[in-house]
Amino acid sequence: MKNKMDNLKYNISEALELPKDIVMDLPKITIIGNIQINILNHKGIIEYTENTLRINSSIGIIKIEGTKLELKTILQEEIIAIGNIESLEIIV
């Protein structure tokens, strides 16, 4: 059932030229070099340490590893983290 709904949302976003991340409730991840990451449409923070940041999303857990990670901004729809980003993994 969910797959049919996702297909319908995808087709509507294509036909109306709407952003897929908004219509399909997908996270939008922007990485600036290895020093900053912006995540829109998140579902909350699961874990936060200086070396690991795990964020819940509609597609799974977004895991960021690095050193000196620091949360710069936490809003209902957006998280901005800075530091030395070494890896990004999406766990479905």
Please report, in tens digits, the pLDDT of each residue of the chain (92 residues total): 567 777 776 776 677 776 666 666 789 999 999 999 999 999 999 999 999 999 999 999 999 999 999 999 999 999 999 999 999 999 99
Q: Report if residue 7 sits inside a domain.
A: no
Please give the tally of structural domains in the chain: 1
Report yes or no on 21 lying in a domain: no
Assigned domain for 14 exists? no
Considering the domain boundaries, does residue 9 fall inside one?
A: no
Range of the domain at 34: 26-91
Cβ atoms within 10 Å, residue 71? 13
Is 3 part of a structural domain of the chain?
A: no
CATH number at 78 reads: 2.60.40.2000
Q: Is residue 33 part of a domain?
A: yes
Output b/e per residue, 43-66; b: 16+ Cβ within 10 A. Answer: eeeeebeeeebbbebeeeebbbbb
Q: Is residue 1, in this structure, part of any structural domain at all? A: no
Q: State if pTM tops 0.75.
A: yes
